[in-house]
Homo-oligomer: A and B are copies of this chain.
Amino acid sequence: MGTPFQGMIQDLKGRSQYYKHDWSFAASSGLSILAPTFYIFFASALPVIAFGEQLSRETDGSLSTVETLASTAICGIIHSIFGGQPLLILGVAEPTVIMYTYLFNFCKNTPQLGAKLFLAWAGWVCIWTALLLVLLAIFNACTIISRFTRVASELFGMLITVLFFQEAIKGLIAEFRTPENEDPSAKQFRFQWRYTNGLLAIIFAYGLLVTALKSRKARTWRYGTGWLRGFVADYGAPLMVVFWTAVSYMPPDRLPEGVPRRLLCPLPWEPASLYHWTVVKDMGKVPFVYILAAIIPALMIAGLYFFDHSVASKMAQQKEFNLQKPSAYHYDIFLLGIMTLICGLLGLPPSNGVLPQSPMHTKSLAVLRRRLMRKRVVKSAKECVRLQRTRSELYGKIQAVFIEMDAAPTVKEMETLKKAVMKPDSKDGAKDNLDVVKNIDEYIPVRVNEQRVTNLMQSLLVGVSMLSISVIKMIPTSVLWGYFAYMAIDSLPGNQFWERILLLFITPSRRYKILEGSHASFVEKLPFKTIAAFTGLQLAYFLICFGVTWIPVGGILFPLPFFLLIILRERLLPRLFIHSHLQELDASEYEEAIGAPHGDHTVPLLEKDSDGGESEDDYDAEILDEMTTNRGELKLRTISFHRKHRGGGAGEDRNFQVSPEDASRT
């Protein structure tokens, strides 16, 4: 574990030398920095609004969208200025909402506390949580984060997915019922209007789900210009929320007010919202026993935050992004403790690092950097072509641009570029040089615009959006239920646990279809029985985890099975499975074999160039989309085992499909 404070000191040393650069570098990008800012703002604000509505239902309105937005804005601003890794995005997330729901129910059922002292008691929970987080940071606990393997993180992801679905279904059913605390004799709660409201809810929720899922894939559409497709793909979900909100105003005026139902939340300057500024005063009223008891939920929350925050940070800093600045895991956990304390005292639900927004943030900054670099490289390369310079001069120019742009290319990267530029098969000098320019795209190294401005600005935007709560209130609740379902479905692809569950249901004669597409390498390398046994075990464990969340008060212990998993993974699993199998199924990276039909990406690019009609900007995002899972993990593309094995040309490969038996035998 090392000596106390060691990790934090190292983090601070590492980041402080870049602190000034973090600000100045952003300035050099100019206005183009706005694109990732808005992208990440919409990606993080929408779930926060949805979680606010969920929290408002579960806590009888004690907390609502105002508080979740406030927490996200405050923590985001603090983190972007004082945080270690500015690529990490913060926000109120589903685990927080679930925990706060348990806390509220506990208070409501405990006469000494009551719903009135809920926020005060939650304040005490936050104090304990903050203390625990600070201790974890001091004692360098982040070194153990690697023990949370893929299995644990996917189980947790699956639990969140199922809880999202549960929320969507619960929400939809509620649309057919009279809400609690409402007058059942009001016109809009009479049977016929409740029923109408329910039917409208089904249409809006399903409509949002389908259109949001479709628009997410917009980049691969055949129709529409590249700009439009990119826009729809980047802002699909928020655009569709706006669209369906507009549709929800279409039903005739003869419907009574309140059909369809819309978001219920007080404005930030209304008394209901203002109360949370004075929570500190109430904290003294909490009986001492309950102040002590608050340590139990605090243990769970601290564990969850420690895990979630570190994983989100890790995902934002994956090796393949080639980050140039150091990480700051220990210090960021310390800061998370401080922010949790602040939120607790202000009566706000705390924020932590969120998925998939954090890797999305890095990804969008990589796209930005790539565009800027290409623009410069192509410009100077074209000049070389115009002046009929030789190949080595061209290479020198490109190298100079890379160094000038601070990309610090590695030796290997430069060698690949050199090989590509200097390749011997040049017959027609000028024409060939042009070809080089066209292909240069592949050799631009992946670099990320590492700075603090996008994070700060998106947090400020979240803060500003609190002023427009009256606009946000126009969203029908049913659209949010659809959005919960969207978040659930959207998080499934790329979750290997889910893909393995599906694999169990595929009839043996159809398994070759998996191998035809892109797929994780375990499908080829492991016997089917091993996969089935492992997945069955994981599924059983998952059902236990999900079952725990249903226990009325004990449900608060739901993170326990996940912590337990570390021990099970280290002690039990190695006895049940062969080491190499376990490594394959529980690899720390998402490893994906290239399926036969997915060729390389050179040709469409070339074609686009020769076509000239379309901007290339859009293409970068498309490549990065394909390279990452929906969770934001980068896929490690390995050459398919069978392809390697056969050794023959791709020609033999194309018509070659593997039977699972075949795969297991080898």
Contacts and interface: CB of A to CB of B under 8 A. Distances in A.
B226 A509 contact: yes
A191 interface: yes
Interface stretch (A41-49, A85-93, A147-155, A654-662): A654-662
A650 interface: yes
Chain A facing B: main interface SS: helix
Interface in A628-663: 649-657, 659, 661
B659 A654 contact: no
Given A196-B195, A661-B610, A599 B655 contact: yes
A506 interface: yes
A611 B528 CA distance: 14
A508 B609 CA distance: 11
A583 interface: no
Nearest to A223: B505
A223 B506 contact: yes
A613 interface: yes
Interface stretch (A199-207, A277-285, A455-463, A467-475): A199-207
Given A226-B507, A654-B654, 11 more contacts: A192-B192, A192-B193, A196-B196, A203-B203, A223-B505, A509-B611, A512-B603, A512-B604, A512-B607, A610-B659, A650-B655
Contacts of A193: 192
A271 interface: no
A614 interface: yes
Q: Which 7 A-B pairs have the closest CB atoms?
A: A651-B651, A199-B199, A649-B651, A599-B655, A650-B651, A509-B614, A597-B597
A255 interface: yes
A507 B199 CA distance: 39
A386 interface: no
Nearest to A190: B192
Contacts of A608: 509
A254 interface: yes
Nearest to A221: B510
Given A599-B654, A650-B654, A656-B603, A613 B507 contact: yes
20 contacts: A195-B196, A195-B254, A199-B200, A199-B203, A225-B507, A226-B509, A508-B611, A509-B607, A512-B604, A596-B654, A597-B597, A597-B654, A599-B654, A599-B655, A603-B656, A604-B657, A607-B659, A610-B659, A651-B653, A654-B654
Contacts of A661: 610-611
A21 interface: no
A221 B513 CA distance: 10
Interface string A443-485: 0000000000000000000000000000000000000000000
Contact of A199 (B196, B221, B512, B659): B196
- Specify how many copies of this chain sit in the oligomer: 2
A254 B604 contact: no
Nearest to A657: B603
Contacts of A607: 509, 512, 657, 659
A608 B650 CA distance: 24
Nearest to A648: B651
A603 B655 contact: yes
A563 B216 CA distance: 46
Q: Which of A193, A510, A655 has the most CB of B within 10 A?
A: A510
A224 interface: yes
A659 B611 contact: yes
A180 interface: no
Interface in A112-141: none
Given A199-B196, A199-B200, A507 B614 contact: yes
Nearest to A619: B509
Contacts of A602: 655
Contact of A654 (B196, B255, B651, B657): B651
A600 interface: yes
Given A507-B226, A509-B607, A651-B650, A196 B192 contact: yes
Contacts of A610: 659, 661
Interface string A217-256: 0000111111000000000000000000000000110110
Interface in A494-512: 502, 505-510, 512
Contacts of A512: 603-604, 607
Contacts of A200: 199
Contacts of A514: 222
Nearest to A210: B210
A189 to B, nearest CB: 14
Contacts of A510: 221-223
Given A193-B192, A196-B192, A512-B603, A223 B507 contact: yes
A182 to B, nearest CB: 20
A653 B599 CA distance: 10
Nearest to A602: B655
